[in-house]
């Protein structure tokens, strides 16, 4: 069989409705990891959907209990054809955010795959059921056409990514030998543009922290006390303004990378993000392109801010103020330095009464791959051969994935192939994917796995 015949088989599977049927079965599982009542559904996705599917493909599978969050188990599967062959590890997450049932358009349901105006709707179709369904379907196509993969394959699927991937790093450490591989290939996130195949090699990290100022017990009438009592909202606003200015430029050097490596800058030179069309032109670090701002730099944002009674303000001096702050950071930044640097800065600027506290919903270590990596170059050639398009490569995603579990704990080169786009509403009502993009992605991954068997790189 030839590469072209394998691609034709993947196209037939999609065009005949086979992929839509498979995805519909996955979507019908209400796997909301943010809903504590979905314990049975989270496990059933693995045991009733993924495990039988993989075992049909010749994988041996087992459920691994989560040492940190018992309601979010893992599945580990492997198909070892020859210990001397290359081994690929792939990943996905079967959990979703909350369904938000009542907020979907009329006629649409989150747990049913539906096509409407060139879109396929359903909770999880973009994040992440559809994405790992594409990759596993590409593996299935290879086995069907060739009778074998031509390499070894391991799979880890988690059910807690939307709650911060609790236990993933621990399981990767615990199962390090079982998950040993030569390369990590998986899918999540959006393309830079729906029409441009995209690869990225890592992700930014997330560091959340709270700023809190509690000045006194109770509130006091502003007519009697205004001008006499310190206002925590004003103090907190000024403290935040000392960290970041009115144009979004970070003022504290310890919260920024020192530079952008030339290899990263070169990789991003031709990248045009779809979000650029809605971007505020004067926001952020001066002198950086939109791609550099999102991919190669750090950002500081305020996610929530509260003082007094926002729902029903009263004429009183508030007693306390609070802000949830949010840093996205790149691989050259050490997040362990953030709070000590902010504490020192606040103390030096007269804000020593403000309390700082790191938030547990923060994500690991930022990671990246440079464009001259042999695995990256091989993947770019494969994608271009299949699609006829020059793919966009980003050293890392602007968003955050638990990539450090694979790059740092397992020590693997990591390459991600996003199969969605920025407008997919993945954490909102009306989540959807584009059939044309999905079809191209299925062929792209089928070609990639063919090349892994027939013409792998030699790092």
- pLDDT value of position 266: 94
- pLDDT value of position 278: 86
Residue 102, pLDDT above cutoff 90: yes
Residue 459, pLDDT above cutoff 80: no
What is the C-alpha to C-alpha distance for residues 199 and 417, in angstroms, rounded to an integer?
Answer: 5
Q: What is the pLDDT of residues 36-53, one digit of tens each?
A: 999 999 999 999 999 999
β-strand partners of 198 = 392
Q: What is the pLDDT of residues 371-399, one digit of tens each?
A: 999 999 999 999 999 999 999 999 999 99
Q: pLDDT band for 275, please (50, 70, 90 cuts).
A: confident
What phi and psi values does residue 104 have, to the nearest 5 degrees? Answer: -75, 155
Percent of the chain with pLDDT over 70: 100
Q: What is the pLDDT of residues 153-200, one digit of tens each?
A: 999 999 999 998 999 999 999 999 999 999 999 999 999 999 999 999
- pLDDT value of position 458: 82
What is the C-alpha to C-alpha distance for residues 17 and 19, in angstroms, rounded to an integer?
Answer: 6
Top-confidence residue, 113 or 359? 113
CATH among 3.30.530.20, 3.40.630.10, 1.10.150.120, 3.40.50.920 for 3-203+367-454: 3.40.630.10
The total number of residues written for the chain in this structure: 459
Best CA proximity match to 385, nearest among 442, 447, 439: 447
- pLDDT value of position 117: 87
- pTM score, whole prediction: 0.92
Q: What is the pLDDT of residues 238-266, one digit of tens each?
A: 999 999 999 999 999 999 999 999 999 99
- pLDDT value of position 237: 98
What is the C-alpha to C-alpha distance for residues 381 and 435, in angstroms, rounded to an integer?
Answer: 24
Instruction: Give the three-state DSSP class for 352.
Output: coil
What is the C-alpha to C-alpha distance for residues 194 and 436, in angstroms, rounded to an integer?
Answer: 9
Q: pLDDT band for 360, please (50, 70, 90 cuts).
A: confident
- pLDDT value of position 363: 73
Residue 362, pLDDT above cutoff 80: no
Are 24 and 148 a contacting pair, CB within 8 Å?
no
Q: pLDDT band for 150, please (50, 70, 90 cuts).
A: very high
Are 243 and 163 a contacting pair, CB within 8 Å?
no
- pLDDT value of position 154: 98
- pLDDT value of position 273: 87
What is the C-alpha to C-alpha distance for residues 259 and 256, in angstroms, rounded to an integer?
Answer: 9
Q: What DSSP line would sit under 382-424, residue for residue?
A: HHHHHHSS--EEESSBSS---THIIIIIS---EEE---B-TTS
What is the C-alpha to C-alpha distance for residues 394 and 398, in angstroms, rounded to an integer?
Answer: 9
Q: β-pairing, 87-93 with 114-115?
A: unpaired
- pLDDT value of position 277: 83
Residues 6+ apart with CB under 8 A from 91: 132, 155, 156, 157, 158, 184, 186, 406
- pLDDT value of position 1: 84
* First-to-last C-alpha distance (Å) of the chain: 27
Best CA proximity match to 338, nearest among 218, 436, 252, 277: 252
* Segments in 175-231 forming alpha helices (H): 222-225
Record: fold of 206-257+298-358: Alpha-Beta Plaits (3.30.70)
Q: What is the pLDDT of residues 405-440, one digit of tens each?
A: 999 999 999 999 999 999 999 999 999 999 999 999
Residues 6+ apart with CB under 8 A from 388: none
What is the C-alpha to C-alpha distance for residues 96 and 31, in angstroms, rounded to an integer?
Answer: 6
What phi and psi values does residue 250 have, to the nearest 5 degrees? Answer: -70, 130
Strand stretches in 220-292, DSSP E: 220-221
To the nearest whole number, what is the mean pLDDT of the chain? 96
- pLDDT value of position 364: 74
Residue 400, pLDDT above cutoff 80: yes
Percent of the chain with pLDDT over 90: 94
Best CA proximity match to 391, nearest among 202, 201, 200, 198: 198
User: Which sign does the torsion angle of CA 184, 185, 187, 191 carry?
Assistant: positive
Domain boundaries, the chain: 3-203+367-454, 206-257+298-358
DSSP label at residue 96: B
- pLDDT value of position 405: 97
Q: What is the pLDDT of residues 287-346, one digit of tens each?
A: 999 999 999 999 999 999 999 999 999 999 999 999 999 999 999 899 999 999 999 999
Residue 361, pLDDT above cutoff 90: no
- pLDDT value of position 338: 96
What phi and psi values does residue 277 have, to the nearest 5 degrees? Answer: -65, -30
């Amino acid at each position: 069989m030839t590469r072209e015949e394998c691609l034709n088989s993947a196209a037939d599977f999609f065009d005949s409705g086979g992929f839509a049927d498979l995805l519909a079965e996955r979507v019908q599982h209400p796997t909301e990891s943010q809903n504590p009542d979905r314990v049975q559904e989270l496990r059933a996705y693995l045991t009733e959907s993924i495990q039988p599917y993989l075992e049909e493909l010749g994988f041996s599978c087992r459920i691994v209990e989560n040492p940190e969050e018992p309601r979010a188990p893992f599945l580990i599967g492997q198909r070892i054809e020859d210990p001397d062959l290359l081994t690929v590890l792939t990943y996905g997450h079967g959990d979703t955010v909350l369904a938000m049932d009542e907020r979907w358009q009329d006629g649409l349901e989150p747990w049913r795959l539906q096509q409407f105006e060139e879109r396929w709707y359903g909770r999880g179709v973009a994040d992440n059921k559809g994405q790992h369904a594409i990759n596993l379907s590409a593996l299935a196509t290879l086995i069907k056409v060739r009778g074998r993969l031509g390499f070894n394959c391991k799979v880890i699927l988690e059910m807690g990514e939307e709650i911060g991937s609790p236990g993933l790093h621990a399981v990767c450490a615990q199962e390090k030998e079982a998950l040993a591989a030569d390369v990590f290939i998986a899918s999540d996130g959006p393309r830079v543009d729906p029409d441009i195949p995209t690869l990225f090699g890592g992700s930014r990290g997330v560091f959340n922290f709270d700023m809190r100022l509690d000045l006194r017990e109770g509130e006091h009438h502003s007519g009697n006390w205004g001008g006499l009592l310190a206002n925590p909202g004003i103090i907190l606003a000024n403290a935040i303004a000392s960290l970041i200015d009115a144009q979004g430029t970070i003022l504290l050097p310890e919260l920024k990378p020192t530079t952008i490596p030339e290899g990263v800058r070169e990789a991003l030179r031709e990248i045009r993000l779809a979000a650029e069309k809605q971007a505020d032109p004067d926001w952020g670090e001066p002198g950086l392109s939109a791609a550099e701002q999102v991919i190669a730099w750090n950002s500081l944002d305020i996610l929530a801010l509260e003082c007094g009674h926002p729902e029903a303000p009263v004429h009183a001096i508030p007693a306390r103020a609070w802000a949830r702050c949010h840093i996205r950071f790149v691989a050259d930044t050490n997040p362990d330095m953030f709070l000590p640097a902010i504490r020192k800065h606040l103390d030096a600027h007269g804000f020593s009464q403000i309390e700082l506290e790191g938030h547990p919903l923060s994500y690991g270590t930022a990671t990246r791959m440079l464009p001259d990596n042999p695995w990256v170059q091989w993947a770019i050639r494969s994608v271009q051969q299949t699609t006829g398009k020059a793919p966009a490569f980003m050293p890392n995603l602007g968003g955050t994935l638990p990539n450090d579990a694979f790059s740092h704990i397992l020590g693997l080169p990591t390459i991600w192939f996003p199969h969605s786009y920025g407008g997919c509403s993945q954490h909102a009502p009306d989540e959807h994917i584009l059939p044309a993009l999905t079809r191209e992605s299925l062929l792209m991954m089928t070609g990639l796995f063919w090349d892994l068997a027939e013409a792998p790189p030699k790092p």
